[in-house]
Structure 1
C-alpha cells in the first residue's frame, strides 16, 4: 500500500472505491456479483488473486483528495455514466467530455494501484501530478477515443469490465490505457514529448468517437458501429501525428 497519496504526496490511507459505490448499486446483477481475477505485482513477483470488479477498493490516496476533487469528479459523471455503460443513446457537451476523459484516466490509475503495490508503475508519477494539479488530461500529449464494445458472455455470465495498460515506444515513449465498463470502452494514449511539441487530433470513424481533447460539437453516443470485443482486446496504439506547437 502506498504510504503517500499518489496524487498530492500527503499521507495515504483513505479507502477509495475504484468504481463509485452508486455505480455498483445501479449496475446489472451480473456485474455486481461477478467475480474475476487480477494480477498482483509486488516484490518483483506476480501472482493472480480473485477480486470483485464492482466493489474493488484501494488505499493509495489521502482523505483530502478522496473526499475533495475525486468525489467532485465522480459526481460530475454520475448523470450520464450508467447510460454510457448500458449503450444507451446520449449526447455530451465539452464539459461532460472533459469530465468523462478525466474520470476514465483516474479510474484506470486506481485499478492499476490495486495491482501494482510497488514501483515501477506503468503510469508515470508525472501524470498523477498533472491530473491533481490541472483536474484534466494534458491537451498537449494525451488523446482519447471512445468505443462501443459489447461485453463478452451472456446475460448471466459476462465480463462487465476490464483494463489493459501497455507501454509503447516509437519515436517517442508512451503508454496506452484501454478501459472498458459495460458497453463503454475508452483508449487513452499518453506520449512523453519535448515541451515544444504536441500530438495531432484523433479523427472520428464509424467505430471511434473522439473524447479528448473535448470536441466543440456534441459527443454523440454510441458510435455508429460496435467494435467486436476481440478486436478491442487486440487493439494497438495508433500512429500519432506529432507536430510543433504554434508559437
Structure 2
C-alpha cells in the first residue's frame, strides 16, 4: 500500500490496538464502509491485511509510538488549551495521513481513494505529500443508547475541479478529502492530484475557525482546541 513491495502482507489495525489497551474499548457495534456494514466488535479491533511486515513493524509502528502520547494528551485535555509545537504538528500530520489511507481500505469502494503517487511520496519522504493539507479540530464524543459511545469515525469525499491555469488553459484536478475522528480529536486530510499547477488550500471562514493547520506547518506553536464559532459537525 505504501512501499509497493511484492510479497506476504500482514495485518494492520485501522486504529491502533494501543487504544484498546488504554481502555477505549468495550463491546458494541462497528460500522465499516458506505453504506455501512455493521459488525459486533470493539472499535479498535478491526484489522486489514494490507501492508508488508517491513512497513508494519518498522516506520508505521514507530509513527504510532510517536503519535500515541500526543493523542492521549489531547484525549485528556478536559477543556484545557493544549500547545502543539512544530515537531508535534508534523508527527500528528504524518499520523493523520497514514491513518486516512489505512481507513480508506476498510471500504472496498475506496481502495483507490488515495492515488499511488501520493502514497509512494509519503513513504519515500516521511512527510505528507505535496499538494496535501492536514488540519486538526475537536468535537465531543457522540453517544447512542443502543450502540454506546462512538469512539472513532471516518468519512471520505472526492471529486474533480476545473482550474484555470491561465487565460487559455483549464486543467481538471482530482481531489480527495478525508475526515477522521478519534475520541474527541478530528483530523481533516485534503489533497489535490496534479503536477501541472500548484494548488492552494482555501478553507472557508467557518472551517478556519473550527480547525487549526497542521500541515504544511505555518506557526511554531498552535493551540488546541481551536476557537470555533459553532460545533464541528462530522
Q: TM-score range by the shorter chain?
A: 0.7 to 0.9
Aligned length: 218
Shift of 1:96: 1.1
Q: Is the 8 A contact 1:94 1:217 kept in 2?
A: yes
Q: 2:31 aligns with which of 33, 37, 58?
A: 37
Alignment RMSD (CA, Å): 2.7
Q: 2:9 aligns with which of 1, 8, 13?
A: 13
| 1:222 partnered with 2:211 | no
> Aligned residue for 1:101?
93
> CA-to-partner distance for each residue in 1:146-201, whole Å, 9 max, x for gaps?
11111212698221111011102222210100110011001111001234524247
Q: Is the 8 A contact 2:2 2:123 kept in 1?
A: no
| 1:74 partnered with 2:64 | yes
> Aligned residue for 2:122?
131
TM-score by length of 1: 0.77
TM-score by length of 2: 0.81
> Aligned residue for 2:169?
none
Q: Match of 2:143, SS?
A: coil
> Aligned residue for 1:145?
135
Q: Match of 2:95, SS?
A: helix
Q: 2:83 aligns with which of 81, 91, 94?
A: 91
Q: Is the 8 A contact 1:206 1:225 kept in 2?
A: yes
CA distance in 2 between counterparts of 1:223 and 1:26 reads 26
CA distance in 1 between counterparts of 2:221 and 2:8 reads 38
Shift of 1:68: 0.8
CA distance in 2 between counterparts of 1:196 and 1:170 reads 13
Q: 2:49 aligns with which of 39, 59, 82?
A: 59
Structure 1 spans left out of the alignment, 5+ residues: 41-45, 234-247
